[in-house]
Amino acid sequence: MALQSPFFGKRDNEPSSLRHGSPNPNPYANTPAATNVSNSAPAAAAAAASAPSAAPREGGGSKLTVGPNIKLKGVEITDCDTLVVEGLVEATMDSRVMQISEHGEFKGSAEIDIAEIHGAFDGNLTVRQKLVIYATGKVTGKIRYGKLVIEEGGQLAGEILFGAVGNSKPALAGKPGLQVA
């Protein structure tokens, strides 16, 4: 005698026509409500296909999301347009956009175009265009940026340099009264 898996319910309660693939598997197909639903389904599918997506993708880029309670350690992230950190990431990366959520944390080295920090970043951060630190955000380490926006409550600490691509030390060294550390 074959044993039935406890993960799948018994099929004895179903009508035999459903088990054997009858041409009309829906026993309620002739009711008025089912007729309206079945006739409106193709129209709804066509409307959904023609309507634009609620969240359009920018240029079809690649996106990596590290979800809550996920730890991604000791990796090099490449060919990723957008990194969304909701858990913990310890990595080296070169990307276009980084978004760290309020409970997210990134440790390591990152070279990116745009960073939006709601959580924590610790390490070497080079932002070629714009670094945004929100009220709950904390950025520490060696930071280089093109533009900087810090919301009230946001924290920024460490070696902070303006000019993400160029070297800013020679420009300061030529001015009298300024010392370069």
pLDDT tens readout for residues 28-71: 444 444 444 444 443 433 333 333 333 444 456 899 999 999 99
List C-alpha distances in Å: 158 to 16, 49, 124, 138, 143: 71, 50, 10, 11, 7
Tell me if 84 is assigned to some domain. Answer: yes
In a domain, 21, yes or no: no
Cα 105 to Cα 99: distance, rounded to the nearest angstrom: 10
Map tokens 């693939």 to a residue.
21
Identify whether 27 is part of a domain. Answer: no
pLDDT at 106: 97
Would you give the DSSP letter of residue 96? Answer: E
The percent of residues above 70 in pLDDT, for the chain, comes to: 57
Would you say residue 181 lies in a domain?
no
**Are 150 and 131 a contacting pair, CB within 8 Å?**
no
Give the residue-averaged pLDDT of 9-15. 50
In a domain, 22, yes or no: no
pLDDT of residue 6: 52
Which residue segment(s) compose the domain that 121 sits in?
63-165
pLDDT mean across residues, the chain: 74
Number of domains in the chain: 1
Assess if residue 133 is contained within a domain: yes
Is 51 part of a structural domain of the chain?
Answer: no
Q: What angle do CA 92, 94, 99 make, to 5 degrees?
A: 90
**pTM for the whole structure:** 0.60
Among 98, 104, 100, 97, which residue's Cα sits nearest to residue 117?
100
Which token pair is 107?
A: 């440790």
